[in-house]
């Protein structure tokens, strides 16, 4: 018995020594909690030169991790294995995280650059008073298409996609809210509709689009459209802007029936270990010149009104990516539908994907 006890005590002692040594090593390399900032963001969603600049200016070491969906981000934060100081969820997820008490209220006195944000992107229903979030990027969901490959055909409507001449020409993003929303909008319904009869009607209509669908894809949609392996794609505006810069034959349109107006905002999760560094980083990213540089790198629309002065005029005057308030008023922001409704959206979307096979 005494041998077994000594064995376990030995393991505990070795573990303690290793933990201390690792802590000392991390501290010597600039990884201690006080001067480390851990960020959780979408992939390829920041100019990494700005991270280096922030580190140089503040002495704070940035650890940067990425996610590929709001749901994956939420799960990891709920589990609490890794403590993130900043995350960048979308609007409906911010609402959900706020209601689940997963966010820390922001000290606006430490965010003087918040004044640079366009007022129309502040105080929105998912976070009234911006108590928990700071605007990062915004955009729309729409249709990117290649008129040259369509014999000059113009697309202005979701319903244009059901044209029999478009057989095997359309790429869809692999997103339940985006594609179910397209079906709902094409029928004149809200993309936040929770009426099961309306959702089933939208799913049946999507089933009839199957002959025109070439594939349902993820990030590869960029290269497929850019390289003209498909002539039409349902994408986010930033993706459209990126691929259009590589292929001048492409066009982007927000369908006349309506679409999604989305926002990605910076938040501080409740488990954050370095709130002060998080606020410093937020304020840094709200600087007009920094925001302009970041927007030009990422190719999404910045909500920073002051930043527009430092960006090319042809970019900020392009209403496809910086639509007027008159147009954005017609668009809808995703609402937090709740677990049951979201599960039903996902179920119908999965059925739709299985129908194609």
Binding residues for spermidine: 92
Tell me the three-class secondary structure of the chain, residue by residue. Answer: CHHHHHHHHHHHHHHHHHHHHHHHHHHHCCCCHHHEEEEEEECCCCCHHHHHHHHHHHCCEEEEEEECCHHHHHHHHHHCCCCCCEECCEHHHHHHHHHCCCECCCCHHHCHHHHHECHHHCCCHHHHHHCCEEEEEEEEEEEEECHHHHCCCCCCCHHHHHCHHHCCCEEEECCHHHHHHHHHHHCCCCCCCCCHHHHHHHHHHHHHCHHHEEEEECCCHHHHHHCCCCCEEEEEHHHHHHHHCCCCCCEEECCCCCCEEEEEEEECECCCCCHHHHHHHHHHHCCHHHHHHHHHHHCCECCEHHHHHHCCHHHHCCCCCCCCHHHHCCCECCCCCCHHHHHHHHHHHHHHHHHHC
């Amino acid at each position: 018995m005494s041998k077994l006890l000594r064995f376990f005590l030995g393991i505990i002692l070795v573990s303690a020594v290793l933990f201390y040594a690792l802590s000392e090593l991390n501290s010597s390399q600039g990884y201690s909690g006080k001067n480390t900032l851990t960020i959780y963001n979408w992939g390829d969603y920041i100019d990494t030169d700005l991270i280096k600049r922030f580190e140089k200016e503040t002495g704070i070491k940035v650890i940067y991790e990425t996610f590929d969906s709001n749901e994956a981000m939420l799960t990891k934060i709920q589990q609490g294995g890794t403590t993130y100081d900043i995350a960048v969820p979308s609007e409906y997820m911010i609402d959900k995280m706020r209601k689940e008490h997963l966010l820390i209220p922001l000290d606006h006195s430490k965010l003087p650059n918040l004044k640079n944000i366009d007022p129309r992107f502040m105080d929105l229903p998912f976070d009234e008073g911006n108590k928990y979030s700071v605007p990062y990027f915004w955009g729309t969901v729409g249709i990117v298409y290649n008129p040259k490959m369509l014999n000059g055909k113009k697309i202005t409507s979701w319903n244009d996609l059901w044209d029999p001449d478009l057989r095997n020409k359309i790429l869809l993003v692999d997103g339940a809210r985006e594609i179910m929303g397209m079906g709902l909008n094409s029928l004149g319904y809200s993309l936040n509709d929770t009426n099961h009869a309306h959702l089933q009607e939208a799913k049946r209509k999507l089933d009839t689009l199957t002959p025109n669908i070439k594939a349902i894809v993820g990030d590869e949609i960029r290269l497929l459209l850019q390289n003209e392996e498909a002539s039409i794609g349902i994408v986010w505006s930033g993706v459209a802007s990126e691929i259009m810069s590589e292929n001048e034959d492409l066009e982007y349109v927000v369908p006349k029936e309506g679409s999604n107006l989305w926002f990605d905002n910076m938040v501080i999760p409740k488990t954050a270990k370095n709130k002060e560094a998080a606020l410093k980083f937020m304020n840094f990213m709200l600087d007009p010149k920094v925001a302009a540089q970041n927007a030009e790198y990422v190719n999404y629309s910045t909500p920073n009104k002051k930043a527009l002065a430092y960006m090319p005029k042809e970019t900020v005057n392009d209403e496809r990516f910086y639509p007027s308030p008159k147009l954005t008023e017609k668009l809808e922001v995703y609402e937090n539908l709740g677990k049951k409704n979201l599960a039903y959206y996902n179920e119908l979307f999965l059925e739709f994907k299985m129908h194609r096979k």
